[in-house]
Amino acid sequence: MTSAGTLVFTDVDETLIRPKSLFDFLEFFFTGRYGDAGARHARATRQHLARLQRAGAGREEANRAYYGAWRGQPAGEVAEWGRRWFDERRAGGAFYLPRTRAALRRHREEGAVLVLVSGAFDAVLDPIAADIGAAHVRGTRPHLRDGLYTGAVIGPPVIGEGKRAAVRAVLRGYPHVAADDCYAYGDHLSDLPMLTEVGRPVVVGGSRELSAALPAADVLPY
């Protein structure tokens, strides 16, 4: 049972929600906003990221490269499209992974503070946070100039070690909460730094690598 004031950290893509939000939203925005030209841009971005990964780029490098696709887009408009994306996907059903969603609901009902930790950005994460009642969002921060995305990011992406740093930053704001009493949910080996920062890690899905690295962790099947 969750104690009052406990922090519960969760990854988002394929841990809390089914789609890979960054790719899904990329296509949703650019195709919806710019039609065929936008669809080509989204497709070219995905191909570029796939080439980077085939060449050995890590998730952090790919995450940085992803935000280059948003160069010149107005942040306010993107945020509005993010709310539209969420509303459509949520209404379509099968958006949340039901076991994770139910677990987070129980945590919150028992007094926990929910924290989203993801390589995604606020346009995607804020509507999800509002819907599930997450108090904090720690995502990759695209750089803005005059309200437009520049294609760069501020600080490290919230992937791998960036997730560890995000957990520690939130915990510093809750000095009365012991990390050993906190939970974290993740599905991929890149979530390991986040999961090892708390006393109650939960492996979502069937990652053998992650389960092997955390043999004492609870497992939440899909």
Residues 136-148: what's their mean pLDDT? 98
Domain annotation covers residue 68: yes
The per-residue pLDDT for 19 is 94
The per-residue pLDDT for 3 is 53
Which range marks the domain in which residue 150 is found? 7-220
What's the domain count of the chain?
Answer: 1
Domain annotation covers residue 158: yes
Give the CATH number for residue 59. 3.40.50.1000
Domain annotation covers residue 1: no
84-108 per-residue burial string, b: 16 or more CB within 10 A, e: under 16: ebbeebeeeeebbbeebeebbeebb
- Does the structure show a pLDDT above 60 at 168? yes
Domain annotation covers residue 80: yes
Domain annotation covers residue 57: yes
Domain annotation covers residue 46: yes
Banded pLDDT at 4 (limits 50, 70, 90):
low
Banded pLDDT at 5 (limits 50, 70, 90):
confident
> What's this model's pTM, rounded to 2 decimal places?
0.95
In tens, the pLDDT along 10-23 reads: 999 999 999 999 99
Three-state SS annotation for 56-68: CCCHHHHHHHHHH
In tens, the pLDDT along 84-120 reads: 999 999 999 899 999 999 999 999 999 999 999 999 9
User: How far is the C-alpha of 154 from the C-alpha of 77, rounded, in Å?
Assistant: 20
In tens, the pLDDT along 176-213 reads: 999 999 999 999 999 999 999 999 999 999 899 999 99
Banded pLDDT at 144 (limits 50, 70, 90):
very high
The per-residue pLDDT for 2 is 53
Q: What is the DSSP string of 133-164?
A: T-SEEEE-EEEEETTEEEEEEESS-SSTHHHH
Domain annotation covers residue 34: yes
Are 121 and 137 in contact, with CB atoms under 8 Å apart? no
Domain annotation covers residue 2: no
- Beta bridge partners, 115, equal 9, 136
